Amino acid sequence: MTDSPSTPQALIVGVGPGLGLSLARKFGNEGFALTIAGRSEQKLAEFATQLRSEGLRVDTAIADAADPKGFQASLQELAGKITPSVVVYNAAIVASDNILTSDIDYLITNYNIDALGAIIAAQVFTPAMRHAGTGTFLTSGGYAYIDPYPAYATIALGKGGLRVATVLIHKELKDEGVHVASVTIAGGIEPGTAMAPELIADTFWELHTQPADEWTAETVFDGTK
């Protein structure tokens, strides 16, 4: 299917079988042509096949946030092909680890994926949004940074850095028509519950369609809405 010039484009960075796939499905069902990006070509192909079977328009892009320079180059190449009006940064590494015993390269890699990648994505894609005077850049936050748990140290560090980065970018771009916000997920994502991924994806959509006078840098999803 060929997209018309007026078809809005959404880029989802970090797609797994849970929230990432639900985010792609939500924006696709709302009329967006999708690009899903990640580091596993095989998994992206599987997700793209699933979404296409549902009648959605999907392309894939290989981009590995663990490698900041390579990630930037991949996104810059992608920006030469698409101009997304919505970018969602959903990449993260959730693993049991310890800040005092983890290898330094491991710490750097996880922080690159959890936080730095979002900054790089914003550097690549928000200039076009600023020029257009409109656009949405959203990140998937988490409560890990509120009460850090020693057995999951790097995700706490990453989500803390991601929140600060999102707030900074929000403050810089809000007066230029670009909506930047995080959805801080307060709990584990569980299908079939109040924390189901499709319900969280609905919150991302609500932020995208939110009136400008209601914009905030952070929205908390705790399953009570």
- Give the model confidence (pLDDT) of 197-216 as tens digits: 999 999 999 999 999 999 99
In percent, how much of the chain has pLDDT > 90?
88
Strand locations in the chain (E): 9-13, 33-38, 58-62, 86-89, 135-142, 178-185, 218-221
In percent, how much of the chain has pLDDT > 70?
97
Cα separation, 37 vs 20, in Å, equals: 10
88-125 per-position pLDDT tens digit: 999 999 999 999 999 999 999 999 999 999 999 999 99
Q: Which residue has the tokens 């810089």?
A: 172
52-65 per-position pLDDT tens digit: 999 999 999 999 99
What's the rounded mean pLDDT across residues 172-192? 94
Contact 65, 139 (CB under 8 A): no
What's the rounded mean pLDDT across residues 70-97? 96
Cα separation, 17 vs 50, in Å, equals: 10
The letter for the amino acid at 182 is: S
Check residue 143 and report its DSSP letter: G
pLDDT value of residue 5: 59
Q: In what order do the strands lie in the sheet with 33-38?
A: 58-62, 33-38, 9-13, 86-89, 135-142, 178-185, 218-221
pLDDT value of residue 169: 98
pLDDT value of residue 1: 43
CATH superfamily name and code, 9-221: NAD(P)-binding Rossmann-like Domain (3.40.50.720)
